[in-house]
Amino acid sequence: MELISSAPTGPIETRWERHRFEMKLVNPANRRKYTVIVVGTGLAGASLAASLGEAGYKVKAFCYQDSARRAHSIAAQGGINAAKNYQNDGDSVYRLFYDTVKGGDFRSRESNVYRLAEVSSDIIDQCVAQGVPFAREYGGLLANRSFGGAQVSRTFYARGQTGQQLLLGAYQALQRQVSLGTVELHERTEMLELILVDGRARGIVVRDMVTGEVSSELADVVVLCTGGYGNVFFLSTNAKGCNVTATWRAHRKGALFANPCYTQIHPTCIPVSGEAQSKLTLMSESLRNDGRVWVPKDKDDVGKDPSSIAEAQRDYYLERLYPSFGNLVPRDIASRRAKDMCDEGRGVGPEVGGQRRGVYLDFADAIERLGKSVVAERYGNLFEMYQRITGDDPYDTPMRIYPAIHYTMGGLWVDYNLMSNIDGLFVGGEANFSDHGANRLGASALMQGLADGYFVLPYTIANYLARASKSEVKSSTPEVKEAVKSVKKRMKQLLEIGGTKSPDWFHRRLGHLMWDNCGMARSRAGLERALEEIPKLRAQFWKDLRVTGSGSELNQVLERAGRVADFLELGELMCRDALHREESCGGHFREEHQTEEGEAKRDDERFAYVAAWQYTGSESEPVLHKEALQFEYVKPTQRSYK
Amino acid sequence: MQKTMNLVLHVWRQANSESAGEFKRYEAKDVSEHSSFLEMLDQVNERLIEAGEEPIAFDHDCREGICGACGMVINGQAHGPQKATTTCQLHMRQFDDGDELWLEPWRAQAFPVVKDLIVDRSAFDRIIQAGGYVSVRTGSAQDANMIPIPKPDADLAMDAAACIGCGACVAACPNAAAMLFTAAKANHLNLLPQGAPEADRRVRNMVAQMEAEGFGHCTNHFECMEACPKQIDVDFIARLNRQFLKAGLVARDRLASRGK
């Protein structure tokens, strides 16, 4: 299989413009004849469904939550990047493009990234017009702040809840379309299978999570905006419901899964407190703008009250190691260094699993420099959240933070049009692999979700529909009936195992295997061990799972069982991908491949490609396909933030 | 050393919207003070599954206090005893060993029970559909800095926009009114120049939908603000009332109401 990116060539500044002109359009009067399925109502899904509804298409949108407004984009705190250069500090589309390619450790497609930077400005305009209450200065103009991996202030924010405000903007636009009758919205509805007819994506099988009814939904094109797969680690900053099922089902139907091992660890999360922990909470990276990260110089001081440790006895290790970026180094570097400190025995906080896993994030200097009220204005709600969870007050004592799984750069492989290798299956937002390479910069996830939904997919989907032949599928079409039947059969199987252990029991074990072997640092030995253990755990799952209740009612155990079953397959693919990539890049750190200073060591000769895996069966090995990456504009160098 | 505790729970169990519900007694044992309230329920549920019993159904998702999915009445208080805190952010250090807790779903005619502690809050979505948006098409926006907005206005809009749509305000209100929610949503947009052109229409339509859904009327108990995890101010309700009055007067003026 040859992977054709369909990315335009020629001067990068005009690629998207020329591509837009070359794409076909659908006449406004004809749009209502086309039905588009959008799965997921986060930033990408909600913005896309609203935009397509406005344009006149018939849209069916689906989410597993009880309201479209609750998709996990809502939890993003820090902000959204855009190359507005409102601060007159040297920003430009080209600089945002450059920073993103470099930040992604030269493992993304230049054309896609340039387009992302190009439409970033339009996103801010769109959101402000919708009434998103971004932070403002006293003159009434928009405020900005800086974020990790950048030396300009290009991040727009709405207190510590930028994700919620952007999602509400998109959700409100979506609800407006619902009231106008262009969008049919199905909440508490989960996609469990993709329907292919003649090799083309023509629908999905869904389960109504209240009645348990399984049915088919058909369309001319299917778009998955279903988010990332960080919950494979059990403990992550994702919402509890986030899952890989939609994209994994598509993968099993032939969609290639690209770079599954590229996962992002977020450096500023609240450390694990005990065995019953169900999720990890992120504290916005923006905290690193004013907070200083340190650990005691002396191992003997780790158990002491931090206020009793003298300035000279503290090691502000990020400022020491990276003088020019200091506490604002990119996420992967900040995370790995925190791990190093804890592995050296200089971590702080309580011991969990035999190690102190935490470093201090200290605001004492900021409070002295800016005053408590300014610090409260910037981070007040984050401080409150921290206090609610830990019982400590960060105005008085430093926060304790530790890295946690936060975002997954990998996802379904897509071309420049964001279409997967399956005809008529498009993928937007975190669910695709497209723009962040091996590491995502802060405040870029919101940007990508909205870029895909508002400004990229509406064009490329129209182009697809204008070119595709019109044909009808019905619920009685054999492929449709077969897909519905297979979903019912699988659910029956899960319900009938009759074992002794809950889905969470397996999920926690999978999470441990993944975190220990495919987490912040990976090695051949560890990955090989995980590749032995995961199939065993999977086999045990299908023998010893217990699902209570029935399929014809609201059944949260059944929902979880289906998701864990898919994670158990994905986890293996991630380890396989991590094992084959004999280099370190971005969020993928192989212990065997590091510089003398402990930085990631890429191997551009052998690995400057996208690894796209093809499913061949649950017990057979996947096939690797490669899309070579060319860097015409940003020449690969070793990233340096010193 | 972590403190652990044992608790007795009386949980509302109801198979579906049609059936009658009842309280059932459960024991939560060896719960760490650092666990969240929902982690405590996770532990109870794990033991129920092990015993082959159906676990307690409750809505939850982000578990960091922002998605608005979770919520239950704990000993008569929506989201439990801690101020400005969603159920998922409530931690067990707020409770003591031996405590006896009564857990119920949001109680309101407009929020029918779906199962156990899960209710149907789609009425909120329909209030938004009635007017909780700015009618702007994708791509039609001007430069974001074209309209300066005084910082106090933007901040006040943000205060209203902080609503997470959890429904605690309705659950806490003796009349099961949705005024705090509706006021927050309408004021967020009405306060901004972008939302001004549709302000009258928005207020009239959202209030009409709120009433059609079967929410009660506001009689100024202010329990909503007490229960609100984002501490949305009841003064937004006063503003909504004024806006509603004005919108009604405009609607009677035949010339001014053309096209509204």
Does B62 contact A at CB distance below 8 Å? yes
Residues across chain B: 260
Q: Are residues B219 and B127 in the same domain?
A: yes
What pLDDT score was predicted for residue A2? 87
C-alpha distances (whole Å) from A459 to each of A8, A22, A180, B2 are 15, 11, 22, 56
Q: Are residues A210 and A317 in the same domain?
A: no
CA distance B222 to chain A (A): 23
CA distance B182 to chain A (A): 14
Quick one: pLDDT band at residue A276, thresholds 50, 70, 90?
confident
In terms of DSSP bridges, do strands B4-13 and B100-104 run parallel, antiparallel, or are they unpaired? Answer: parallel
Q: Are residues A347 and A421 in the same domain?
A: no
How far apart are the C-alpha atoms of A425 and A418, rounded to whole Å?
9
How far apart are the C-alpha atoms of A144 and A85, rounded to whole Å?
10
| pLDDT 10s digits, A241-254 | 999 999 999 999 99
Q: Are residues A587 and A496 in the same domain?
A: yes
- pLDDT, mean of residues B144-169: 97
pLDDT(A178) > 70 = yes
CATH (domain of B16): 3.10.20.30
Question: How close are the terminal C-alpha atoms of chain B, in Å?
Answer: 65
Q: Are residues B126 and B86 in the same domain?
A: no
Does A168 contact B at CB distance below 8 Å? yes
CA distance A129 to chain B (A): 6
CATH (domain of A518): 1.20.58.100
Number of domains in chain B: 2
0.80 cut: is pTM over it? Answer: yes
The answer as to whether A17 is a domain residue is yes
How far apart are the C-alpha atoms of A119 and A456, rounded to whole Å?
9
Domain that holds residue B198: 122-252
Alpha-helical regions (H) of A275-428: 317-321, 331-343, 364-370, 372-390
| pLDDT 10s digits, B26-60 | 999 999 999 999 999 999 999 999 999 999 999 99
Q: Which of B31, B129, B194 has the CB atom closest to A175's CB atom? A: B129
How far apart are the C-alpha atoms of B229 and B82, rounded to whole Å?
9
Alpha-helical regions (H) of A63-155: 93-103, 110-130
How far apart are the C-alpha atoms of B63 and B69, rounded to whole Å?
9
CATH (domain of A277): 3.90.700.10
Q: Are residues B96 and B133 in the same domain?
A: no
Q: Are residues A166 and A282 in the same domain?
A: no
Q: Are residues B81 and B132 in the same domain?
A: no
How far apart are the C-alpha atoms of A66 and A189, rounded to whole Å?
9
Q: Give CA angle at B104 (B98, B107), nearest 5°.
A: 150
pLDDT(A171) > 80 = yes
Q: Are residues B129 and B234 in the same domain?
A: yes
> What 3-state DSSP class applies to A195?
strand
How far apart are the C-alpha atoms of A172 and A179, rounded to whole Å?
10
Q: Are residues B160 and B224 in the same domain?
A: yes
What pLDDT score was predicted for residue A151? 86
Q: Are residues A601 and A497 in the same domain?
A: yes
pLDDT(A638) > 80 = no
The answer as to whether A286 is a domain residue is yes
Q: Which of A128, A173, A502 has the CB atom closest to B49's CB atom? A: A502
Does B99 contact A at CB distance below 8 Å? no
pLDDT(B260) > 80 = no
Q: Are residues A420 and A495 in the same domain?
A: no
Does B125 contact A at CB distance below 8 Å? yes
Interface residue of A65, A165, A175, A504 to substitute, partner B, most B CBs within 10 Å = A175
CATH (domain of B222): 1.10.1060.10
Domain that holds residue A107: 12-182+195-217+225-237+251-262+409-467
The chain B residue lying nearest A240, using CA atoms, is B61
Q: Which of A72, A135, A546 has the CB atom closest to B62's CB atom? A: A72
- pLDDT, mean of residues A576-600: 93
Chain B residues within 8 A of A129 when measuring between CB atoms:
134, 136, 140-142, 144, 194
Q: Which B residues 16-55 touch A at CB under 8 Å?
A: 16, 31-32, 34-36, 38-40, 42-43, 45-46, 48-50, 52-55
Q: Are residues A490 and A361 in the same domain?
A: no
Q: Are residues A425 and A483 in the same domain?
A: no
The residues, any chain, with a CB within 8 Å of residue A148's CB and separated by 6 or more, are A285, A288, A328, A329, A330, A331, A334, A441, A442
Q: Are residues B96 and B128 in the same domain?
A: no
- pLDDT, mean of residues A508-517: 96
Torsion of CA A560, A563, A565, A567, to 10 degrees: -130
| pLDDT 10s digits, B181-217 | 999 999 999 999 999 999 999 999 999 999 999 999 9
C-alpha distances (whole Å) from A113 to each of A374, A421, A515, A607, B110 are 35, 20, 29, 19, 46
Q: Which B residues 126-145 touch A at CB under 8 Å?
A: 128-130, 132-145
What pLDDT score was predicted for residue B119? 98
The answer as to whether B259 is a domain residue is no
pLDDT(A641) > 80 = no
Question: How close are the terminal C-alpha atoms of chain A, in Å?
Answer: 42
The answer as to whether A50 is a domain residue is yes
Q: Are residues B156 and B224 in the same domain?
A: yes
- pLDDT, mean of residues A7-11: 96
C-alpha distances (whole Å) from B151 to each of A77, A155, A378 are 20, 18, 14
- The β-bridge partners of A58 are A35
Q: Are residues A73 and A122 in the same domain?
A: yes
Let me know: does B48 contact B65? Beta carbons within 8 Å. Answer: no
- pLDDT, mean of residues A21-42: 97
pLDDT(B258) > 80 = no
The answer as to whether A233 is a domain residue is yes
Q: Are residues A432 and A381 in the same domain?
A: no
pLDDT(B150) > 80 = yes
Number of domains in chain A: 3
| pLDDT 10s digits, A89-132 | 999 999 999 999 999 999 999 999 999 999 999 999 999 999 99
Q: Are residues A46 and A133 in the same domain?
A: yes
| pLDDT 10s digits, A427-482 | 999 999 999 999 999 899 999 999 999 999 999 999 999 999 999 999 999 999 99
The answer as to whether B23 is a domain residue is yes
Q: Which of A51, A175, A240 has the CB atom closest to B133's CB atom? A: A175
Q: Answer whether A65 sits within 8 Å of B141, measured CB to CB.
A: no
The answer as to whether A632 is a domain residue is no
pLDDT(A264) > 60 = yes
pLDDT(B1) > 60 = no
The residues, any chain, with a CB within 8 Å of residue A194's CB and separated by 6 or more, are A201, A203, A204, A205, A222, A246, A249, A250, A253, A255, A422, A425, A483
- pLDDT, mean of residues B247-260: 78
pLDDT(B237) > 90 = yes
Interface residue of B30, B66, B85, B201 to substitute, partner A, most A CBs within 10 Å = B66
Q: Which of B49, B135, B189 has the CB atom closest to A548's CB atom? A: B49
Q: DSSP assignment, residue A289?
A: G
What pLDDT score was predicted for residue B118? 98
- Residue A314 has a CB neighbour count (10 Å cut-off) of 19
How far apart are the C-alpha atoms of A408 and A227, rounded to whole Å?
9
The answer as to whether A315 is a domain residue is yes
**The last residue of a domain, from among B104, B132, B161:** B104
The answer as to whether A419 is a domain residue is yes
Tell me which of A137-151, B59-73, B81-95 is least confident: A137-151
C-alpha distances (whole Å) from B64 to each of A388, A428, A559, A573, B61 are 10, 25, 21, 30, 8
Q: Which B residues 75-94 touch A at CB under 8 Å?
A: 82, 84-85, 89-91, 93
Of residues B23, B163, B29, B178, the one with CA closest to residue B86 = B163
The answer as to whether A637 is a domain residue is no
Which residue's entry shows tokens 């099993």? Answer: A252
How far apart are the C-alpha atoms of A206 and A488, rounded to whole Å?
10
How far apart are the C-alpha atoms of A227 and A46, rounded to whole Å?
12
Q: Are residues A437 and A524 in the same domain?
A: no
Q: Which of A67, A134, A553 has the CB atom closest to B121's CB atom? A: A67
